[in-house]
Structure 1
């Protein structure tokens, strides 16, 4: 069966445009980041596995001997995140010049598998000696892989894991700050998405459902991986 060419003057459908716009997908991933950091900070010994800015500060707390913080947990998170970012950079160098949609889907699918594996471990061995380290390494590696990908995608104001510059832009570029406020809706949505994920993750963790929180994060990422397009 042969494919008929489009009529004269008509454009062939753009395969990169099929699916959810990247802006929507990245907002969804921001919700996931809130869940992941709620799980790691509240359930894995006061360590972040998505927000590395906070993690560097936490490492300083731990190094100074502040109670409740662990150098080894935080160092493991930082190391795994950096390894994930290296892997994400290599994937971007290899596949970033081709289909944006296929590249984004592949890396998000890998993130979903890693977070899903952490959910399985948390469910199967919640009190085992090495469970906390396994969850820290798997989720931090996944977040490093994602952050490298998001950075290469270059969608403005949507880093998915940190909000400092988003909040700065929201205030400084607002009408009150002398700007146009053109990107305020996107920036506000990113803040709300992170907050929503943190609320959901914290609600589950404090009720003893850490594995469920990770499963929700993995499932959400998997859905976004399947649904994403290559366009903003």
Structure 2
């Protein structure tokens, strides 16, 4: 009698599903934008929609905003996105799991470097630019990867369309709503990360929230799978 061959488990499915990974990264985005906006001179390094608006404020001479700071963030974000696009092109036909983990490991290293700078040399102009550059590059790299992954409603940094979908497709809208738990979880994740980040910045400085963000990305780099 022939013994049946056990099914081969898809290696891409090993680890934490991408939905959970991206929701956790949304919390990390809230942390990083709390650090950047509250601690780095009213500039965003994860949310580029807000950053473009801030750049407009700064260009008009509104007090409390800086063209050099915001311009540095935008430039480094774009460089990170270019790097993310190149990584995606190289790994597109290979293992999705390996690609995601590689990108998350790079993000963890960049954010960890920013945490180290914040701990070692706080409150200097050079530190401010270093933190803006490192975190914006990391977020550009991540956003390019998330865009290529194409998981619906989980961009990790922007909620405008998520909120529009929740409202327009609800029972009060056209009634065609789908994936409301995912969308709601994304909004709560961003708000929770921002709240935690703001509290940590206000009471403990910039280093600790950045370290938490780096650790979260690092753990996901080890555990992420390649399946949605």
Which category describes the TM-score, using the shorter chain as reference length? over 0.9
Provide the C-alpha distance between the structure 2 equivalents of 1:7 and 1:64, rounded to a whole number of angstroms. 72
Aligned to 1:3: none
Once residues 158 and 95 of structure 1 are traced to their aligned partners in structure 2, the CA distance between those partners, rounded to angstroms, is 21
Q: Counterpart of 1:118?
A: 114
User: How far apart are residue 181 of structure 1 and its match?
Assistant: 2.3
Among 69, 81, 92, the residue aligned to 1:85:
81
Cα deviation per residue 1:10-59 (whole Å; 9 max; x = unaligned)? Answer: 42011100111000000000000000000000000000000000000000
The correspondence of residues 18-33 of structure 1 with structure 2, limited to 5 A, is 18-33=14-29
Q: TM-score, normalized by length of structure 1? A: 0.95
Query: In 2, distance between residues paired with 1:105 and 1:115?
Result: 15
For 1:53-202, list aligned pairs within 5 A. Answer: 53-202=49-198
Give the Å deviation of 1:189. 0.2
Once residues 165 and 219 of structure 1 are traced to their aligned partners in structure 2, the CA distance between those partners, rounded to angstroms, is: 29
Separation in 2, partners of 1:60, 1:12: 55
Query: What is the distance in 1 between the residues matched to 2:193 and 2:168?
Result: 25
RMSD: 1.0
Runs of 4 or more consecutive aligned structure 1 residues displaced over 3 Å after TM superposition: none
After superposition, the C-alpha distances for 1:107-154 in whole angstroms (9 at most, x for unaligned) are 000000000000000000002330000000000000000000000000
- Give the number of aligned pairs: 226
What TM-score, normalized by structure 2, do the two folds share?
0.97
5+ unaligned residues in a row in structure 1: which ranges? 1-5
Task: Tell me how far apart the structure 1 counterparts of residues 206 and 225 of structure 2 sit (CA, whole Å).
Answer: 31
2:4 alignment counterpart: 7
